[in-house]
Amino acid sequence: MSDVANPSTPQSEVSESSISQSALSVTQRPRRLRRTEALRRMVRENTLRVEDLIYPLFVMEGEGQREEIPSMPDCYRYTLDLLLTEVQEVYGLGIGAIALFPLIPYDQKDNAGTESYNPNGLIPRAVRAIKQAVPKILVITDVALDPYSSEGHDGIVQDGKILNDETVAVLVKQALVQAEAGADFVAPSDMMDGRVGAIRKALDAEGWINVGILAYSAKYASAYYGPFRDALDSAPKFGDKKTYQMDAANAREAIKEVDLDIAEGADIVMVKPALAYLDIICQIKQHTNLPVAAYNVSGEYAMIKAAAAQGWIDEKKVILETLTSMKRAGADLILTYFAKEVALMLQ
């Protein structure tokens, strides 16, 4: 029986004679609204739009090269020249914002992440070049020490512990260098206490009142970040990130973190990862009037790519269903490595 049966065809004509005519009498038939694609589209509650997407991109030193990230098929680290071409292309597809992450050579890493606030470092150079080549695209820069840390942590390490306030002082310098380079938003992803307020205060004091803060407010200590750490060679050299990133079992604490970041001056709050935390996205959306972002992280990307490569799932359909679930949960914005693929699908 066709999905798009002509509504003028009485049910009896398409019924098989072996099936007895139903005497069922119901007032509501929800299936009436699912009968055709035009109808389903009309009553659809949430729609994934290319405008909702932020594309995370990996940049590395060098020229004329791109390297596929083994645990993230179809996702590359680009040298700056090739990154510009990619940014141009995705802007042409309607993607309005990118988030940048650097691969830092090991000899430039140290415990205090000093390369993170080098005004001529890879990220400031990338931001300047992108802003020159594609001025209208929004550039979001990550504020955290891990790509620059010899310890692979988001903060300065002393005696096996992560120092909070000393780290925030470095994050402030990093954010200022990124603002100076032309970043539209800085995105603290480190989970140190008080960093949003310290960064807001410093940006304002230096006159960067229009540089926004996209706060990784509810960022969980998650095993879903594995492929990203491969991409940046940034896995912790010891221990884990549980003394600063949130416990996966907590929900109320996410609201607390969001409240703090808003009080400290965040413009957009984020939940990360997304798929295993849809309930958190939903609660935060109901709690605040700020835009809510969700980070569809590397491990979520890798799972879909791996299953699709085996032929076990329909990749395109699973991508759209997954990202739509994030919108349905309440995400206004989605950071996703699928952004380009989705932009092509939505065209």
Q: Of the residues 109, 241, 272, 340, which is catalytic? A: 272
Instruction: Decide if residue 144 touches ligand PBG (CB under 6 A).
Output: yes
Which among 244, 257, 245 has a CA at the least distance from the CA of 283?
Answer: 257
Instruction: Decide if residue 218 touches ligand PBG (CB under 6 A).
Output: no
Compute the chain's Rg from CA coordinates: 23
Instruction: Decide if residue 115 touches ligand PBG (CB under 6 A).
Output: no
Contacts of 145 (CB under 8 A, 6+ apart): 112, 113, 116, 153, 154, 155, 156, 167, 170, 171, 174, 190
Instruction: Decide if residue 297 touches ligand PBG (CB under 6 A).
Output: yes
Which among 186, 125, 127, 188 has a CA at the least distance from the CA of 155?
Answer: 188
**DSSP states of 168-221 as a string?**
HHHHHHHHHHHHHHT-SEEEE-S--TTHHHHHHHHHHHTT-TT-EEEEEEEEB-
What is the DSSP pairing of strand 66-69 with strand 72-79? antiparallel
Calpha distance 10→323 (Å, rounded): 38
CB of 226 to ligand PBG, least distance (A): 7
Range in contact with ligand PBG (rule: CB under 6 A) among 34-42, 88-96, 223-231, 308-316: 223-231
Tell me the site size for ligand PBG, rule CB under 6 A.
Answer: 12
- 86 and 134 Cβ atoms separated by less than 8 Å: no
Residue 133 or 169 with smaller CB distance to ligand PBG: 169
CB of 144 to ligand PBG, least distance (A): 3
Q: Of the residues 136, 161, 173, 219, which is catalytic? A: 219
Residue 76 or 133 with smaller CB distance to ligand PBG: 76
Active-site residue flag, 219? yes
Instruction: Decide if residue 228 touches ligand PBG (CB under 6 A).
Output: yes
CB of 34 to ligand PBG, least distance (A): 35
Binding residues for ligand PBG restricted to 169-208, rule: CB under 6 A: 189-190
Active-site residue flag, 272? yes
Q: In this chain, which of 225, 244, 277, 338 binds ligand PBG, going by CB under 6 A? A: 225
CB of 39 to ligand PBG, least distance (A): 37
Residue with token string 């609201």: 255
Q: In this chain, which of 52, 115, 151, 154 binds ligand PBG, going by CB under 6 A? A: 154
> What is the binding site for ligand PBG (CB under 6 A)?
142, 144, 146, 154, 189-190, 225, 228-229, 241, 297-298
Task: Report, as residue numbers or ranges, the catalytic residues.
Answer: 219, 272
